[in-house]
């Protein structure tokens, strides 16, 4: 049986945050924190880099704007020119609104699907749910999980380490199938 990683429980957001800082300082990279609610400052405590999502949204927004502007220019001045109250065919002020809307649409699509891509969802099951007690995380429990894939992973060492930093109810999680 392969194992997925090791799970340790903490009592409060504060102790979870300190635990995350210690795990980060120990040099672990593949670990995660689980809490019932978002905790301010957790990104930094876990040593996460800033999300790349913003750049993706920016890129999508720009492409949306260009696409919207290009589409209208092409239709109105080349493909199907139509005289609208005597205004020029290439009436660029009129294109601003559709350009803007397509920019918003593309950014929104980029934001939603980019977020799903970076978070690797939809995913219907996760090895942490093999733990019986883990369901408490939706009410009052705080967990740290360290994964097997981490280069510094070594089962006995990780168990001792998690005990040292105040983790309780430590258990080894089995991997899927």
Partner 1 sequence: MNLNPNTYTYISKSSYNLILIIIGYVGLVLTWFFGISDKVFYFSYLTSYFYWLSIILGGMFFIMVHYAFSSTWSVSIRRLMENTIMLIPLFTLPFLPVLYGMEKLFKWLPNHYYWKTHDFEADHLIQHKLAYLNEDSFIFRALLYFVLWNIISIYIYYNSIKHDRTGEIKILENLRYFCMSPMGVFFFISLTGAGLDWHMSLDPHWYSTMFGVYTFAGAFLAFLAFLTFTIIRMQDQGYLKGIVSTEHFHDLGKYLFAFTVFYCYIAGAQFYFIWYSNIPEETIWYLHRWIGSWKIISVLLIVGKFFIPFFILIFRGSKRNIRLLQVMTIWILFMHYIDINFIIMPTVHKTNFHFGLYDLFTMISFALIFVGGFKFITTRSNLVPLNDTELVHSINHRNH
Residues lying near partner 1 in the complex (CB under 8 A): 40-41, 43, 50, 58, 85, 87, 93-94, 96-97
Q: Min. distance of Cβ 96 from partner 1 in angstroms? A: 6
| Nearer of residues 94 and 111 to partner 1, judged by Cβ | 94
Least CB distance to partner 1 at residue 42 (A): 9
Q: Nearest distance from residue 43's CB to partner 1, in Å?
A: 7
Closest to partner 1 by CB, 50 vs 125, is 50
* 98 or 105: CB nearest partner 1: 98
Instruction: Give the shortest CB-93-to-partner 1 separation in angstroms.
Output: 5
User: Sheet harboring 31-34: ordered strands across?
Assistant: 31-34, 142-147, 3-10, 168-174
Closer residue to partner 1 in complex, CB, 50/120: 50
CB of 71 or CB of 91, closer to partner 1: 91
Closest of 63, 60, 21, 19 to residue 44, by C-alpha: 21
To partner 1, the closest distance from the beta carbon of 13 in angstroms equals 14
Query: Residues 63, 65, 71, CA angle at the centre, nearest 5°?
Result: 95
């Amino acid at each position: 049986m392969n194992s997925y990683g090791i799970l340790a429980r903490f009592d409060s957001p504060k102790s979870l945050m300190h635990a995350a800082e210690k795990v980060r300082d120990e040099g672990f990279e593949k670990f995660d924190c689980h809490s019932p609610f978002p905790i301010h400052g957790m990104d930094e405590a876990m040593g996460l880099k800033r999300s790349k999502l913003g750049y993706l949204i920016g890129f999508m927004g720009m492409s949306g704007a260009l696409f919207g502007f290009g589409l209208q220019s092409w239709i109105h001045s080349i493909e199907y020119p139509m005289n609208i109250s005597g205004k020029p065919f290439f009436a660029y002020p009129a294109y601003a609104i559709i350009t803007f809307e397509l920019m918003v649409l593309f950014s929104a699509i980029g934001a939603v699907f980019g977020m799903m891509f970076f978070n690797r969802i939809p995913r219907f099951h996760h090895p942490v749910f093999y733990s019986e007690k883990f369901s408490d995380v939706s009410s009052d429990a705080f967990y740290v999980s360290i994964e097997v894939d981490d280069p510094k992973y070594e089962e006995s060492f990780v168990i001792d380490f998690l005990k040292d930093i105040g983790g309780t109810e430590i258990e080894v999680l089995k991997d899927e199938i």
